Structure 1
């Protein structure tokens, strides 16, 4: 566990992915170290899948970092906060990495877990942080996955950065919630359920067709099983 990044003392109950107040031991962007109310950095998560399968490869999405100031922001280290519905997720089940667009290097993200069951990952791994020019948006490629022992769950992710407020720190520039599901590996019925929901009430034929596919697959499996080798008595 990185030094200085595990003293996250929760101060209020967690709702969705709203994190507790961060400590100032987390690295602050140089353009945001002051105590002014205006914060020049915004974050946005986009392109993420709705489902992840445990044990499968990492899936790609992007994190946008926008600098609304008239000066360059250096040493920007975003933070990703994950909250799972069932509070069963473990840090060791998370597999996440990001690319530094300036160098092309890939960096892993280590997570810590707070007393409120939040999983907090800092975009760090020893690199100096992102540099964002005035009025520009930097898009950071991210890949996230889960180990094979992760159980089905609903997870809410939120990205943010840290701003100093007096003697304390505060999450600001939050991205908004990105919700997704951890589904059982090869869960065909779950996928068809989602497809049925997406078709709406006006697509009865589509719903019937998808249901027929499930029945055909199940029927084929029964036929194969019934045609196994038979031993005749002599």
Structure 2
């Protein structure tokens, strides 16, 4: 397995992490550590035995290289956005998005983002987060692996998935969701980012890297303090969907109260007149 690294300024991820990410994206069972390899080198590793040997050459092997217009840039501009700043240990899924923008004039195929989670306490285990990504309307689980640098990495992939395709000049938004179980240590600050790999047979090309997405894992009591903050985005989403039952109920409530009030007033007047005549 070979991972080609492009000369871009100050990558947030280490070569060891990127090599592991590319190995996972290319379906390699394991990969040795490369923490001592200088950045922006062409990394080659002895080819480990793949988890499964395909009967034919995969389609991704012939995928054209997703080349950047400028040698100093990645071909895919990558951004994480829309995620909450806190996750409650033992709470439900929270969603966020990963934008992949193709800055080239060619279609980028066989694209596999690899999510990297790094926690300050270095105690976050593969059993704590539950990460899933959406291909269309269906979520797929992401298997997480722990690296020698105490990072959790997971490739967005599932059986039969050829990878994402991003048309030239277009942005593809990948939805993800994350939950953290109650066994996770709290509080604990976590940084998530994405190393984007183009799968090309047994090779991986590093074609994008996202910004940092920072959040904190909190216990239930601390997490409840953010309820009002989280309710506001929900209200915005409801507003975007147009009139709802709740909207109609709020709109009709004053009219209903007015009608009831008028009815009670009329009944009161009738009783008064009946009692005095």
* Counterpart for residue 107 of structure 2: 72
TM-score (norm 1): 0.66
| Deviation of 1:94 (Å) | 1.3
Say if 2:138 is the partner of 1:105.
Answer: yes
| Deviation of 1:186 (Å) | 2.1
| Deviation of 1:169 (Å) | 5.7
Q: Measure, in 2, the Cα distance between the counterparts of 1:22 and 1:80.
A: 22
* Counterpart for residue 161 of structure 1: 196
Note if contact 1:161-1:174 (Cα within 8 Å) is conserved in structure 2: yes
Q: Deviations over 1:50-72 (max 9, x none)?
A: 00001111100000011111111
Q: Measure, in 1, the Cα distance between the counterparts of 2:223 and 2:109.
A: 46
Please give the residue correspondences for 1:8-19 in structure 2 after superposition, counting only pairs within 5 Å.
9-12=33-36
Q: Deviations over 1:69-89 (max 9, x none)?
A: 111111111011111000000
| Deviation of 1:100 (Å) | 1.1
* Structure-2 change in CA distance of 1:188 and 1:91 (3 Å): closer
Please give the residue correspondences for 1:23-34 in structure 2 after superposition, counting only pairs within 5 Å.
30-32=63-65
Note if contact 2:109-2:198 (Cα within 8 Å) is conserved in structure 1: no
Q: Measure, in 2, the Cα distance between the counterparts of 1:173 and 1:53.
A: 30
Q: Secondary structure at the match of 1:52?
A: strand
| Deviation of 1:12 (Å) | 4.9
**Equivalent residue in structure 1 for 2:151, among 114, 118, 140:** 118
* Counterpart for residue 122 of structure 2: 87
Q: CA-atom RMSD, angstroms?
A: 3.5
Note if contact 2:66-2:107 (Cα within 8 Å) is conserved in structure 1: no
* Counterpart for residue 139 of structure 1: 173
Q: Measure, in 1, the Cα distance between the counterparts of 2:224 and 2:101.
A: 40
| Deviation of 1:107 (Å) | 1.1
Say if 2:39 is the partner of 1:4.
Answer: no
| Deviation of 1:39 (Å) | 3.5
**Equivalent residue in structure 2 for 1:50, among 85, 95, 98:** 85
Note if contact 1:30-1:76 (Cα within 8 Å) is conserved in structure 2: no
Which ranges of 4 or more aligned residues in structure 1 deviate by more than 3 Å?
Answer: 21-39, 167-172, 188-192
Q: Secondary structure at the match of 2:148?
A: coil
* Counterpart for residue 221 of structure 2: 186
Q: Measure, in 2, the Cα distance between the counterparts of 1:115 and 1:91.
A: 13
Q: Measure, in 1, the Cα distance between the counterparts of 2:126 and 2:84.
A: 20
TM-score (norm 2): 0.56
| Deviation of 1:22 (Å) | 9.8
Gaps of 5+ in 1: 14-20, 195-234
Q: Secondary structure at the match of 2:83?
A: coil
Gaps of 5+ in 2: 1-23, 38-42, 51-59, 230-277
Q: Measure, in 2, the Cα distance between the counterparts of 1:48 and 1:123.
A: 18
Note if contact 1:8-1:22 (Cα within 8 Å) is conserved in structure 2: no
